[in-house]
Structures are given as C-alpha cells and as structure tokens.
Structure 1
C-alpha cells in the first residue's frame, strides 16, 4: 500500500524522486514506474501502479459501453494518464503540463492513500490537510471492523 507523505524537490527538468516506499509498492509489476493523471477533484495529481488502473478498468467494465459516466471516467483517468518510468535513481520526469496543472514549483508532496496516491504542491496540501482531518473526524463512525473468513474479527479490531 502507498502509505505516509513525503515532500521532495522537483528539479528544473521536471524530475522528482519518488519515495522509496512508493517505489516498493509497484516493484515487480509489469511496468517499472508509476502512472499519474490530473485529478478531476482539484489542482493535484492522482496516481498508482498498473494494477490500480487494471482495477479501475474492471470496475468500469460493469457499466454499459456507452454510459456517459463510464466514458467520462475513462477519459478523465485513462486518456489523461501518463506512464512515468523510474530512472536509475528512482526519479520520474513529470511532464510540464502536469506540474503546471497541479501548481508544482520546486517541491512536490506525495500523499499515500492505500491503493493510490496523490501529488500536491506542499502549500496546497498543507491548506487542505485541516479540512481533511475535520471531515475524517466527522466520518470516523463509518469505519467498521471486517470479519475474517472464520467469522471472527481480526486481531486488534477497531475499537
């Protein structure tokens, strides 16, 4: 899973080091890199590995071929996605249009979200964090323990 947050330098050529923990999540997959696209929720990027995109594809295949929502999601995710291979130092090159879209200038913040991650400008991420914590507090009651195959709760279940 993509966990934690890290802020790294974005050089003049658009190269940024992907956190080692993030690189390990996609290690061994059929594509040695990450995939990113402009978020349709705001001025930041979303991303993940090839397995996440395959999961999105499987989910979208449950909708009718010409469903407007399906087509919109396909265009917003797949048509705007970029495959960013790792270089020998674990860096990727963010295309200029993507770092302009997200307002990235000099530094970027990677935010792990489990199966996917986000890339923010550090300032925008800091401004958003307080609102996200408030929303999480308001929704914490929605977290429920999930039973394991034998019907019991996992050890250390939610309290």
Structure 2
C-alpha cells in the first residue's frame, strides 16, 4: 500500500490553487482517481487531505460511531461539517476552499506533509509555531510512548 511521506512547500495563487507535489502524486492509488476530501485538522490549525479511497475508510469508521452519544455526534459533526470533496485539475493543482484557507491561516505558501494514509497542509508560519512547541526531549518521550521500546538503547 503506498504511503505519503516527505515535506513539500509550494506557492498558492490568488484563487486558492496550489500545485500538488509530484512525489505525493506518485503515491496516489489508482482507486483515488485524483479525488480528495479535505477537512480541518483536529487540534492544530492545519488541513487534512485524504485521497478518495482513504476517505472511504474514514467514512466506514464513522458509520460505526454511535450518533446517539454526545461524543459520537460531536466527532461526526466536527469532521463532516467541514469536509469538502476536491479533484486535481489538468495542471495537477488542487483548489483549497477559502474557509479552509482562512481557518489554517494560509497566505502565499503551503507546506504539504505526508502522513502515511493522508496529507497535512500547513501555513509555513503555523507549522513553525507548532514545531517550536515541541522539544527534542518531548519528541523522544512521545516516540517511546507511541511506538514502544527504549529508543536510546534500540540497536545498541
């Protein structure tokens, strides 16, 4: 299964169009048909871009969320309320919706970050701000908690 990775900075034009990075495009599944769903980031002021085939997996998971629970409704409402379908144009650009541009404080440039099954889209300034809030020590601790094991001694 192809995986999105890497970081790519591109300029955005006055109409909100930005070139979709060629290296990320190579990893698009044919099932995606160059179609995407874009949503707001969960706690960071960025955007999440899901290829159509990956978005179908998200929707499948959402269909199992209990709409009769307050938390279930909140998750569905927050995610689907701001979801929009997009496609690459003939110049391999993607047009970011203006409300998403405003939410993520995107100005003249965007940074695409491959996140495995989806892509994050950041304002360079917001990404720098997010990076400044993470120390090397906290990154090591987070890696240990999330991936497991003692990273300092692995491979020694």
Give me the TM-score of the superposition, normalised by structure 2.
Answer: 0.82
Which residue does the alignment assign to 2:51? 49
Structure 2 CA distance for partners of 1:118 and 1:132, relative to 1, 3 Å: farther
What does the per-residue CA deviation read over 1:55-110, in whole Å, with 9 as the maximum and x for residues that have no partner? 22232333323222222222222231111100112101111111111111110011
Alignment of 1:91-110 (within 5 A): 91-110=93-112
Which residue does the alignment assign to 2:139? 136
Structure 2 CA distance for partners of 1:22 and 1:70, relative to 1, 3 Å: farther
Moved over 6 A (4+): none
Provide the C-alpha distance between the structure 2 equivalents of 1:2 and 1:93, rounded to a whole number of angstroms: 20
Which residue does the alignment assign to 2:86? 84
Which residue does the alignment assign to 1:127? 129
Provide the C-alpha distance between the structure 2 equivalents of 1:31 and 1:62, rounded to a whole number of angstroms: 26
Cα RMSD over matched residues? 2.1
Unmatched segments (≥5 aa) in structure 2 = none
Which residue does the alignment assign to 1:19? 21
Unmatched segments (≥5 aa) in structure 1 = 146-157
Structure 2 CA distance for partners of 1:71 and 1:53, relative to 1, 3 Å: farther
Give me the TM-score of the superposition, normalised by structure 1.
Answer: 0.80
Which residue does the alignment assign to 1:148? none
Provide the C-alpha distance between the structure 1 equivalents of 2:54 and 2:135, rounded to a whole number of angstroms: 25
Q: Does 1:5 align with 2:16?
A: no
